[in-house]
Amino acid sequence: MSGRAEVALAPALRAAELGQVEEMAEMINGYAARGLMLPKSTAELYRLFREFVVVTGPEGEVVACGGLRVYRPDLAEIVGLAVREAWQGRGLGSAVVDRLVEDARGLGIGQVFAMTLTEALFHRRGFHTVPRERLPEKIHADCRSCPRRPGCREIAVLRELESGADALHLLQGRRLRVLHR
């Protein structure tokens, strides 16, 4: 296959559009039904779709998504990170995380966190595990009313963002390699 055809078939990472909300909800809630994520209603995703980025496949279908929720000028959370099972193992989750970290850095946010059941992906992206109590904004906003709180298995991971053009350049190069395999 020629390089030009490979690029045309490569997944595209961009801001979510209104018309993609139903696909995002179906993917996220499929994982939620298996206890792997918290559910998100379609109405909630319509309200918050501007927080999200998506990866689309060759037919324009949503194959991955994730959002960046800002809590305060120096703290944001990666939310709703999901990759369709058929597309896993291609670095798409990492590409979404890298993009959201880049977006946070562009906003001047110094710390990004996520709540996850599988911390390895985030550890490879420069996050480290922290006690949930270190994130009172998250606990106040979501955890207090969560029906899963008593038996919560989610792990809090946090990344202090690097500054400078070198860190941004490294992230951009890594993302491009992943998307053009």
The CA angle 41-44-50, to the nearest 5 degrees, is 130
CA proximity to 27, closest of 123, 16, 99: 16
Give the pLDDT band of residue 162 (cuts 50, 70, 90): confident
Q: What is the pLDDT of residues 79-137, one digit of tens each?
A: 999 999 999 999 999 999 999 999 999 999 999 999 998 899 999 999 999 998 888 77
* pLDDT confidence of residue 116: 93
Measured CA to CA in angstroms, residue 59 lies from 4, 38, 107, 175 at distances of 17, 28, 32, 21
For residue 174, pLDDT over 70 is answered with no
Handedness of CA 141, 146, 148, 151 (dihedral sign): positive
Give the pLDDT band of residue 10 (cuts 50, 70, 90): low
pTM: 0.81
* pLDDT confidence of residue 181: 37
Q: What is the pLDDT of residues 12-47, one digit of tens each?
A: 999 999 999 999 999 999 999 998 888 899 999 999
Q: What is the pLDDT of residues 41-70, one digit of tens each?
A: 999 999 999 999 999 999 999 999 999 999
Give the pLDDT band of residue 6 (cuts 50, 70, 90): very low
Pairing type for strands 75-83 and 62-72 reads: antiparallel
Give the pLDDT band of residue 153 (cuts 50, 70, 90): confident
Q: Which fold has domain 3-179?
A: Aminopeptidase (3.40.630)
For residue 97, give both structure tokens. 């995380």
* pLDDT confidence of residue 154: 84
